[in-house]
Structure 1
Amino acid sequence: MFLLLACTPVLAQAPAELTPEAQVSRAEATLKSARASLEDAETPDTLATLSERAKAAKDDADAAAKALQPQLDQLNEQLAPLGEVAEGSTEAREIAVQRASLTRQRNKLDGTIKRAELAVVNANQLAADIEKLRASQFSEELGRKVASPLSPALWSQVAATAPADTTRVLALYRLGTNAVRDALKREGWALPLLGLGVALLLFFPVRLWLRALGRRYAAAENAPQGRLRRTGLAVWLLLVGTAMPGLAAWALIASLDAVGAIPPRLQTLSNYFVGATCFSAFIVALSACLLAPKRPSWRLLDLDDTAARNLRKYAWSAAAVSWISIMLAAVDRAARTSEINTIALDGVIALIYLCLIMAMLVTLSRLHRRQTAEAAERAEAQAADSRARGPAQRSGWIVLTRVAGNVVVAAAIIASLFGYLNFAKFVTSQLVWGGIVALTTSLLLKFADDLCTWMLHPDSRIGRTVVLTTGLSAAQVEQAGVLLSAFSRIALVLMALLIFTAPFGNVGSVLSSMQTLSDGFEIGSIKLQPGKVLLAIAVLLAGLALMQALQRWLVDTYLPKTELDSGAQNSISTVARYLGIILAVLWSLTALGIGFGQLALVVSALSVGIGFGLQAITQNFVSGLILLAERPVKIGDWVKIGDQEGDIRRINVRSTEITVGDKSTLIVPNSELITKTVRNMTMGSAQGRIQIQFTLPLNADVAAVKQVLLDAYTAHSSVLSDPAPSVFIDSIAGGQVAINSFAYVSSPRQVYGARSDLFFSLLQELASRGIALSAPTDIHLVRDPDGAV
């Protein structure tokens, strides 16, 4: 399993000078040879190589087809004006020659493209056959049964083949030592010693200095605030702890290879050495940044100091076992030892892994018991407090890890006892591999979340820059950080799943799966690709930012310089806003690869649903456009609709906001303002009318009353002199005189307050002059108790 990390095949790149026809021919030849070699493929490495060759052939064919398709389209466009030759007619010789030449070129290109498409189909079929054969061999290998390790039969077979295997390993050792001795005699010690010095320098001083540098920065005041200090330091320690030992191993191997000290047969073994060093260093660095045994405050896992120290030791042991197992497997392959020796070696490695896993499970079990006891003590303490919120939560991942580990250990032990050593090694190594992938993914998920939320936090430098440059609110920028964190975490989870399944296949299949995802998928005639989706999102955000900048320029700079009122300015800015949104959406759809013709088909297909399901929304939208265009009401108008009245504060394309007298906001659908009767108090005239009515007895001095009314109107500061106030006798009936009077103020909003003031002054003046107003007549029915019923 770990061999997949040690060496990754490098695909041969197509030379730049190859023509598309040559690429197709090479792809066909590669597929033919790979198909012929498939029958003799017996090892996973051979199948992996064949899979890479099939993928390379497919890439060649795809590239050739994409390169030739524009030429074919161009020839078809040139042939289109020539049309078809009518039956029985002749055409000019020049046209016939040109038609024949274009036809030959088109047929040749069309044939080459069809060959390329056929090669792609053959490559896919070959890849599927290779995957089936690989799965069959993988299942056969896992199900291979040998004698039980408790039986002497297994070890007797190992002892029988041991002399021959030892001879092969010693021959490999002599090959290497002789190559080193000859190279040193020929080239000298300078370059190997330089490589060794660089390796030691990278492994010790540089690695330790970079670790200390990261810790100093994380503890500094200018470091990012919040959890990013811890997760950022953990990722830094992981990178440094993995890269420095890997570079040291590479420098040592490169110096030996430069003087020719590594023979061709040991080239693969040297690659395994670099890969094993990187992988083992990764395990050690991952445990160091997650466990932090000497710095509990920086620890990312919910562990106490005792568990952290123990697990740290087991991590070092796992790294050592991994390095040794990778190198032993590489030596076994290079020396071509016997199959029974390989199986026995796998069994020994599986047993060592079992011991490490059981030790880790014991540590986690003890940790769980300590946490359970502490939680019980806290729960008892909280039970005495009436404000207790319940027992403290314990780490659920410890329980899941223990359950999974116990199941795997039991399965591996049973498989080993029955002789299924390959299965036992695979299960144990897969548990270790899954744990490494899970822990790494957990660390990267925390780091991605902290990094994204910190970058787009309104208080960070980047967040403030985004707020100032785009005009977005602080809440919108923070929401963008949360969405970016979600997308990055989803990508990390998908990547972790692909990496976790890598041991079940070859690396090429994993890379092919990733390429398939990057190529996208088709929905009808539309092909959605992740790159185009990201481009469409970027274009949409850029379009919305430009729209917002334009609207802000209109509202703050241009429209205030015009002679338009606030309502007209709002209409223009609102229409510009929604027009900008529509253009941004169309622009993003174009970037996504959806043309206007395809968009028209989608809209026509959805028109029936829009007509029924979104009828009200569409009606309000159209009504909003009518309101913005005709402006029967505008911002600042005082309107009355039904039994509600108030000031219009905002007109949107779907609804209108009206502030009523109690300062609450009334949301009115725009269709209500279009289809129903609306009284606009301030539309035709800015003046408001005051009407005062009352009745007098017949013997009252109506002339004096008229003068009192006119004097009261004249004395009030809000009453206008033009139009002048007027007083009328409305009627004389029932022994009473009905007086009706009118006056005008500068705004309808002043009517209520001015009329109240006039009532106060009028009643006071009439009372001082002794003029009584008519009062309601009270009728009392009195029953005579002595009268007849």
Structure 2
Amino acid sequence: MAGLSSFFRTILVRGPWLGLLLCCTLLLAVPALAQDDDPTPKQQLAQIDSTLKDVERKRVDAEATETLGTLSETASQAKRDAEALEKTLQPQLDQLNEQLTQLGDAPKDTTEPPELAAQRRTLTRQRDALVASIAQARSSAVRAQQLSADIDKQRNAQRTEELGRKVASPLSPTLWRQVADQLPNDIARVTPLAQQGRAALTTAIATHGWGTLLLGLAAALVMMFPLRLWLRALGRRFAASERAPDGRLRRSGLAMWLLLVGTLLPGYAVVVLVAALDAIGAIPPRLQSVAEGVQAATFAAAFISALSACLLVPKRPSWRLLNLDDTAALKLRKYAWGAAALAWLSTVLVALDRATRTSDVTTVALDGVIALTYLGLIMAMLVTLARLHRRQTAEAEAKLEAQADGLGAQLPVRRSSWLVLARVAGNIAVVAAIIATLLGYVNFAKFVNQQLIGGSIVVLAATLLFKFVDDFSTWLLNADSKVGQTILLSTGLSVSKLEQAGVLLSAMLRTLVVLIALLALAAPFGNIGTIVERIASLANGIVINKDLTLQPGRIVTGVLVLLVGMGLTQLLQRWLTDTYLPKTELDLGARNSISTIAGYVGIILVGLWALTAMGLNLKNLALLVSALSVGIGFGLQAIIQNFVSGLILLTERPVKIGDWVKLGDQEGDIKRINVRSTEIQVSDKSTLIVPNSELITKTIRNMTMGNNQGRIQIQFAVPASTDVASLRQALLDAYGAHNTVLQQPAPSVYIDSIAGGQITINSFAYVASPRQVYGTRSDLYFSLLQILAGRNIPLSTPTDIHITRDPQQ
């Protein structure tokens, strides 16, 4: 039972993901757990001081750059703890100062009540203690920062010294003679370590039995083979089914699933096995570093193998994410297996070399063999890429020839632009590593090879994440997905805006991937904690002046407030337009004015709210407005004039939506009044965009403002002998027979004048809208001509008088 409890406790330490699951299970099973009291500020300061002293002590004896990196991370963490403590104590100090300010100073001439004096003394002591703690926290933060910087300098100097250290070349016979001479001593050092491991295992089994070990071994085997293979097959079946998302997310999502399964399950299988051995005490202290190296090596090798499997996919070309043919994919897959095995073997051998403390000659030989093996592997990959590039070039030339013969569409060619960069970088690195190895700079050659392979792995992993986040974002915010349909139905956004949001989300996630990739590439060259700390320092904001600081967090908050406020404003406008205003007796123009003004007011309030959320107070807003007023006076005058004119149009309503207006030689219906301009649809169905200031400052004829009715006027002349009474009645009957002519006001026929043997008739009729005048008047003209023709009444025209001179006079 003690072995099992120790087994689970070890899993918590060595397996963070399994530990997280186990902790969640325990939290669900046990509703209340005993918690230690939070440490006091003095205890926290003492802990920080103890940590810094421990780092200073270990720094003196540190030899490996990895140890210095760990110490630098510890010092950086102590700095962050001190700064966090200072931020925690500062509000308390401000509160005590405010309370003391309210109490005021002790009176000099009179005696104050004892309770008040005691309260002032208590608050003063508390304030002095907080001031001292804050000062000590600041001092500890500065001390930790200086210590971390010194360790980084020492680490860089030590790394430079190691990379520049010259030893015997791995091709030198002298080196191998020295290795042969030291080999018996090194074997003698390895043998006791193996005996310690065997003895510890025998003792542990005798004490705790086989139960814990067999349980850990069974769990490791299940995770390594049946569970891993089943999860891989499950992912492939789901990706090929109809339940999987449509589009490119099928491929990239499956690749991410295979990467996670292929990395975590083998790694945690070894973690579980090592935890089982450690739980029963089967790992002696000298082999602890070897066990940790095996775990790290397994995770690294599993990641390399899984990444190559999900990117290359040699047996399923349609699921391949890289632009490679089957031949190159198959060979690169084999080399990836070799890289994974080499990474695992080299990591374990280095851990064993450090645990056994072998001779320097053996260490140099081991580093040289590892460097040469890396070189051989890289050269094989470069040869494969070179052959792939030649095949793609040949295919491109064949395509050009086929296009000349009219067969280009039958020969699609896939070419990779990244092959050239990969080959150039790889060739340069290989040449540099070969020269360094031959000259005896084995550490430099090993470092170059490891960084080349490690950088390639980081780039490939970032490429996979790039594709996945892009596919996921565009699928998530797409009109065809369930999430996208829910957003469209609940918010009323257009499909284009939803897709734009997907593109923006993809850009933000890909930017995050780039930052992570850069941190991973920069990790071997320095303290990654320092790099992260410098990037995180941007969260403190950009200081504009002493009263204005733009912080990224507040900017994001302001943008979110703006988006939420704009959404609420649109919902309010939609409720006014569709629900409330139709229930009123207002016409369409009045409803549009109310809805538009409500939108403007909402936008202004949301803008002020967003600026306030960004940290701009009223004073800063006044400064901002005063600064913008200069630009408004010079460059934005016309825009502001049109904006104000639009507000006047919406409030005074000289014209409104639905009115028929005539502006110069143009006339049409007002369709929309915007912030800057008004849209007028003319008779040919085109849209005339008029600045709002034109409708305010210039003369405009509103055909439907006071009265929506239209008047038709028909005027003609007939001979004096015409029976005008019957003609009048015939015209009135024609007007009454037309379905668009109104009965009230009634049509009317008048004699306008009698002169020159002609009678001028002038008649009027009314229709419901000015828009009906043109068509109705045309119909009435046809009716008038038929009436005149039926009654043989000619239309009279003015008499032309021509004066000529007799040529004989």
Q: How high is the TM-score relative to the length of structure 1?
A: 0.90
**Which blocks of at least 5 consecutive residues in structure 2 are unaligned?**
1-13, 20-34
TM alignment of 1:93-172, pairs within 5 A:
98-159=119-180, 161-172=182-193
Once the two structures are TM-superposed, the CA of residue 709 in structure 1 deviates from its matched residue by 5.0
**Contact preservation (8 Å) 2:170, 2:438:** yes
Q: Distance in 1 between matches of 2:622 and 2:127?
A: 33
Does residue 478 (structure 1) correspond to residue 508 (structure 2)? The answer is no
**Contact preservation (8 Å) 1:195, 1:252:** yes
In the other structure, the counterpart of 2:233 is 212
Task: Report the residue type matching 1:423 in the other structure.
Answer: F
Q: Distance in 2 between matches of 1:529 and 1:564?
A: 47
Q: Which moved more, 1:505-514 or 1:119-128?
A: 505-514
Does residue 250 (structure 1) correspond to residue 271 (structure 2)? The answer is yes
**Contact preservation (8 Å) 1:24, 1:60:** no
Of 745, 749, 772, 2:767 maps to 745
Task: Report the residue type matching 1:191 in the other structure.
Answer: T
In the other structure, the counterpart of 1:762 is 784
Q: What SS class does the counterpart of residue 331 from structure 2 fall into?
A: helix
Does residue 625 (structure 1) correspond to residue 659 (structure 2)? The answer is no
Once the two structures are TM-superposed, the CA of residue 760 in structure 1 deviates from its matched residue by 2.5
Once the two structures are TM-superposed, the CA of residue 622 in structure 1 deviates from its matched residue by 2.0
Once the two structures are TM-superposed, the CA of residue 40 in structure 1 deviates from its matched residue by 4.8
**Contact preservation (8 Å) 1:158, 1:341:** yes
Does residue 648 (structure 1) correspond to residue 667 (structure 2)? The answer is no
Deviations 1:230-282 (A, max 9, x none): 11111111111111111110111011001011122322221221111111011
Task: Report the residue type matching 2:199 in the other structure.
Answer: N
Change (3 A) 1:389 1:628: farther
Of 576, 588, 607, 1:566 maps to 588
Q: Distance in 1 between matches of 2:186 and 2:36?
A: 43
Q: Which moved more, 1:74-83 or 1:659-668?
A: 74-83
In the other structure, the counterpart of 2:217 is 196
Does residue 22 (structure 1) correspond to residue 43 (structure 2)? The answer is yes
Identity %: 63
Once the two structures are TM-superposed, the CA of residue 646 in structure 1 deviates from its matched residue by 1.0
In the other structure, the counterpart of 1:377 is 398
Of 560, 569, 575, 1:553 maps to 575
Q: Distance in 1 between matches of 2:109 and 2:751?
A: 103
Does residue 452 (structure 1) correspond to residue 473 (structure 2)? The answer is yes
Once the two structures are TM-superposed, the CA of residue 80 in structure 1 deviates from its matched residue by 3.2
**Contact preservation (8 Å) 1:291, 1:308:** yes
Q: Distance in 2 between matches of 1:609 and 1:110?
A: 47
Q: Distance in 2 between matches of 1:492 and 1:696?
A: 89
Q: What SS class does the counterpart of residue 480 from structure 2 fall into?
A: coil
**Contact preservation (8 Å) 1:640, 1:646:** yes
TM alignment of 1:677-688, pairs within 5 A:
677-688=699-710
Once the two structures are TM-superposed, the CA of residue 155 in structure 1 deviates from its matched residue by 3.8
**Contact preservation (8 Å) 1:379, 1:391:** no
Once the two structures are TM-superposed, the CA of residue 374 in structure 1 deviates from its matched residue by 2.1
Change (3 A) 1:251 1:35: closer
Q: What SS class does the counterpart of residue 501 from structure 1 fall into?
A: helix
**Contact preservation (8 Å) 1:72, 1:110:** yes
Deviations 1:518-568 (A, max 9, x none): 666555455556555554444444333333333332222222222221112
In the other structure, the counterpart of 1:3 is none
Change (3 A) 1:506 1:783: farther
Deviations 1:545-595 (A, max 9, x none): 333333332222222222221112222222333333444444444444444
Q: Distance in 1 between matches of 2:517 and 2:184?
A: 43
Change (3 A) 1:631 1:89: farther
Q: Distance in 1 between matches of 2:708 and 2:665?
A: 22
Q: Distance in 2 between matches of 1:275 and 1:199?
A: 16
**Contact preservation (8 Å) 1:689, 1:744:** yes
TM alignment of 1:581-620, pairs within 5 A:
581-620=603-642
Q: Distance in 1 between matches of 2:36 and 2:346?
A: 38
Task: Report the residue type matching 1:358 in the other structure.
Answer: M
Once the two structures are TM-superposed, the CA of residue 44 in structure 1 deviates from its matched residue by 1.3
Of 669, 682, 686, 1:664 maps to 686
Change (3 A) 1:284 1:33: closer
Task: Report the residue type matching 1:576 in the other structure.
Answer: A
Q: What SS class does the counterpart of residue 576 from structure 1 fall into?
A: helix
Q: Distance in 2 between matches of 1:432 and 1:380?
A: 38
Q: What SS class does the counterpart of residue 635 from structure 1 fall into?
A: coil
Q: What SS class does the counterpart of residue 718 from structure 1 fall into?
A: coil
Change (3 A) 1:173 1:451: same
Q: Distance in 1 between matches of 2:661 and 2:180?
A: 103
Q: Distance in 1 between matches of 2:756 and 2:83?
A: 104
Q: Distance in 2 between matches of 1:732 and 1:99?
A: 111
Q: Distance in 1 between matches of 2:619 and 2:524?
A: 46
Once the two structures are TM-superposed, the CA of residue 632 in structure 1 deviates from its matched residue by 1.8
Task: Report the residue type matching 2:780 in the other structure.
Answer: L
Deviations 1:197-225 (A, max 9, x none): 21111111111111111111111122222
Q: Distance in 2 between matches of 1:365 and 1:508?
A: 39
Change (3 A) 1:705 1:288: same
Give the RMSD, CA atoms, in angstroms.
3.3
Q: Distance in 2 between matches of 1:304 and 1:416?
A: 34
Once the two structures are TM-superposed, the CA of residue 496 in structure 1 deviates from its matched residue by 1.0
Deviations 1:430-466 (A, max 9, x none): 1100111111111111111111211222112222122
**Contact preservation (8 Å) 1:731, 1:739:** yes
Q: Distance in 2 between matches of 1:317 and 1:555?
A: 68
Change (3 A) 1:292 1:623: same
Change (3 A) 1:111 1:166: same
**Contact preservation (8 Å) 1:179, 1:261:** yes
In the other structure, the counterpart of 1:394 is 415
Does residue 421 (structure 1) correspond to residue 442 (structure 2)? The answer is yes
**Contact preservation (8 Å) 2:256, 2:468:** yes
Q: Which moved more, 1:574-583 or 1:237-246?
A: 574-583
Q: Distance in 1 between matches of 2:168 and 2:447?
A: 18
Change (3 A) 1:267 1:750: same
Deviations 1:355-374 (A, max 9, x none): 00111111111222222222
Of 519, 523, 543, 2:565 maps to 543
Q: How high is the TM-score relative to the length of structure 2?
A: 0.88
Q: Distance in 2 between matches of 1:783 and 1:631?
A: 65
Number of residue equivalences? 777
Does residue 298 (structure 1) correspond to residue 319 (structure 2)? The answer is yes
Q: What SS class does the counterpart of residue 557 from structure 1 fall into?
A: helix
**Which blocks of at least 5 consecutive residues in structure 1 are unaligned?**
1-5
Q: Distance in 2 between matches of 1:166 and 1:346?
A: 18
Once the two structures are TM-superposed, the CA of residue 602 in structure 1 deviates from its matched residue by 2.9
Q: Distance in 2 between matches of 1:250 and 1:531?
A: 38
Deviations 1:176-210 (A, max 9, x none): 22222221222222211221121111111111111
Task: Report the residue type matching 1:681 in the other structure.
Answer: M
Does residue 61 (structure 1) correspond to residue 82 (structure 2)? The answer is yes
Q: Which moved more, 1:482-491 or 1:528-537?
A: 528-537
Change (3 A) 1:200 1:719: closer
Q: Which moved more, 1:467-476 or 1:538-547?
A: 538-547
Deviations 1:294-317 (A, max 9, x none): 222222222222212211111111
Q: Distance in 2 between matches of 1:159 and 1:320?
A: 26
Q: Distance in 1 between matches of 2:642 and 2:507?
A: 35
Does residue 260 (structure 1) correspond to residue 243 (structure 2)? The answer is no
Once the two structures are TM-superposed, the CA of residue 165 in structure 1 deviates from its matched residue by 3.6
Q: Distance in 2 between matches of 1:240 and 1:109?
A: 51
Q: Distance in 2 between matches of 1:33 and 1:438?
A: 38
Once the two structures are TM-superposed, the CA of residue 387 in structure 1 deviates from its matched residue by 8.0
Q: Which moved more, 1:470-479 or 1:336-345?
A: 336-345
Task: Report the residue type matching 1:751 in the other structure.
Answer: V
